[in-house]
Amino acid sequence: MFAKSVARRALQLQPTLLAKRTKVSLPELDWDFGALEPHISGQINELHYTKHHQTYVNGFNAAVEQFDELKSKLDNDPAVAKQIVAVQQNLKFHGGGYVNHCLFWKNLAPTSQGGGEAPTGALAKQIETQFGSLDNLISLTNAKLAGVQGSGWAFIVKNVENGNQLEVVQTYNQDTVTGPLKPLVAIDSWEHAYYLQYQNQKANYFKAIWNVINWKEAAKRFEAAA
């Protein structure tokens, strides 16, 4: 009887446990906060990760719950549609913030773990073919970053609907890249990513970050994207 009771209790808990598993959470970092110094300070990384990225995690999870709750009411109350549209804006913003930062952390690495080392293999050949050199691609990306008015991102992407060409894409706020644009490198241009260290000299941050870009990760994404 006791075993059956435990089994029934476990089944009753499964939906709750599943709901907890499906919520997004902060990704595990492959390095300590201070590991990217002197290029990005440990204080910036700690605040960026534990405060800013956590805010997008919390906001996205809350928006998903609100969306599900409102969707269940839609059949009986068409006026709920207006609220759903508002929640969708939160889904886009916080969801983009969550996804973009997950990409961002993964494409950074301390110099002791290969950060800043030039890419090899298929990605290196594609860069050489399209841009002539890695430095030229970096210069183009920095120009895109400098062109962000306010807050946003620059992505180096593989366009799988355009002959697998590399492109540098600029987005605003927490907009992300989707569809045929497969992100290889994501660079955060929001002030929270650099201001404590570089203050109003954001161009110096854009130059410095290439010393800790994880091109090995970018090469893996390039070869996996289809």
Binding positions for Mn(2+) are 48, 101, 188, 192
Tell me the two tokens of residue 100.
């973009």
Give residue for tokens 């090899």.
120
Strand partners, 171: 153
Structure tokens at 209: 């970050």
Phi-psi region of 198 (alpha: psi -120 to 50; beta: other; left: phi over 0): alpha
Residue 29 φ/ψ, nearest 5 degrees: -85, 150
27 CB burial (10 A radius; 0-12, 13-18, 19+): middle
> Is 151 in contact with 175 (CB distance < 8 Å)?
no
Binding residues: 48, 101, 188, 192
Strands 152-159 and 181-188, bridge-based pairing: antiparallel
Nearest to 212 by CA among 110, 103, 105, 106: 110
Residue 59: name the closest of 94, 108, 28, 26 by CA.
Answer: 94
